[in-house]
Amino acid sequence: MTGSAGHALAALQDALAAEQAASYGYGVVGARLPQGSAAQAVAGSDWVAHLRAQDRLTELINARGATPAPAAVAYHLPFPVDSPAAAKTLAATLEDRVAAAYLGLVAQPEPELRRLGAEQVRAAALRAEAWRGSTQAFPGLPEASLRR
Amino acid sequence: MGAEAATPPGGAEGGAVSRRALLAASAVGLPVLLAACKGVRALGTPPPPAPNIIELRSAIAAEELMLARYAATLNLLRSQPAGQPPRLEPAIQAVHVEHAAHALQLKARLIEPAGSALALSPTPTPSVSAGPAGDVTAQVGALEQAEQAASDRLISQLAGLPPSLAQLFASIAASEATHVSFLQAARRVR
């Protein structure tokens, strides 16, 4: 496998890992939101979006002759999630991490991967905005990458 | 190699250069010397900017236009504060700040060779009218459409960009898409 193909595969695996973590996290989000609420329904549809994204990434990794890395059995939550407010914050945090992972695909030279990455950064940013109620100037980009 | 081959054309003999040979050499060399005296400009126009510079300048111009449109909308909103959704002005201000940040980051990545055709012609600051008088709702609706179009355009420009610039474009495209739903939500709150 050439360097470029290897980098693309690593970026796909990173995006898959972020999607798997988000899918797990949305299980926690849904459990902490009021039963039958509109927010819980949104969490359900966002969870489905992440499952579909995992399927797409799995296909792309398989098509390159590689094996998709399996999801972990459990994930360490970034902070205690013991209220609906914390659940919404977790959902926004998960989306931020997904956006960051897809920016790795945007850095690849293949136009198809670049476009997929950009579309998914946008989708994650939209979900994060819905959970957070505010926007970000640079979704997914680490602070250190911004020029002063 | 024989003696004939060592004799320069034009009849140099015994190491001396004939007057005819000197005149011929001068005729050939003169244009080159003249061109050299005129400096770099005489050699041709500067090379066209690289494609990513064109995309970058286009993105900067789009952000500056957006900044002007938001400023015009804020002015319109402040001239008619009564009856407006309470969250609209802070929302427009927040998005305006993000566009300023976008423009700043894009400009920080613009490194043009001195003397390039584009570097010599600074972009004028766009001026935007406030649109239909008194129609804040229509103005904000137009901003939402412009945001969506800007997001789509940035994503369509990704191919061929250097990786870090592609990431910046994709992140800004995502941010601009979120402005649409953010403004829509601010308009709905009464």
B170 and A124 in contact by Cβ < 8 A?
A: no
Residues B29 and B101 in one domain: no
pLDDT in tens, B123-152: 555 666 555 556 898 999 999 999 999 999
pLDDT in tens, A11-26: 999 999 999 999 999 9
Residues B117 and B166 in one domain: yes
CATH number of the domain to which B141 belongs: 1.20.1260.10
What residues have CB less than 8 Å from A148, skipping those under 6 apart?
none
Tokens of A127: 């979900």
Average of per-residue pLDDT across B98-114: 91
What residues have CB less than 8 Å from B162, skipping those under 6 apart?
B52
Q: How far apart are CA B129 and CA B124, in angstroms?
A: 16
Lowest pLDDT segment from A96-105, B131-140, B168-177: B131-140
B21 min Cα distance to partner chain A (Å): 58
Domain count, chain B: 2
Instruction: Please check whether residue B3 lies inside any domain of the structure.
Output: no
Band of pLDDT at residue A3, cut at 50, 70 and 90: confident
For residue B106, the chain A residue with the least C-alpha distance is A147
Q: How far apart are CA A118 and CA A114, in angstroms?
A: 6
Residues B36 and B73 in one domain: no
Contacts of B164 in chain A (CB under 8 A): 107, 145
Tokens 């910046």 sit at which residue?
B168
Band of pLDDT at residue A96, cut at 50, 70 and 90: very high
Band of pLDDT at residue A4, cut at 50, 70 and 90: confident
Asked if pLDDT for residue B173 goes beyond 60, the answer is yes
Reported pTM: 0.82
Count of other CB atoms within 10 angstroms of residue A131: 21
Task: State the first-to-last Cα distance of chain A, in angstroms, to the nearest integer.
Answer: 38
Asked if pLDDT for residue B3 goes beyond 80, the answer is no
Domain that holds residue B21: 15-44
Instruction: Please check whether residue B27 lies inside any domain of the structure.
Output: yes
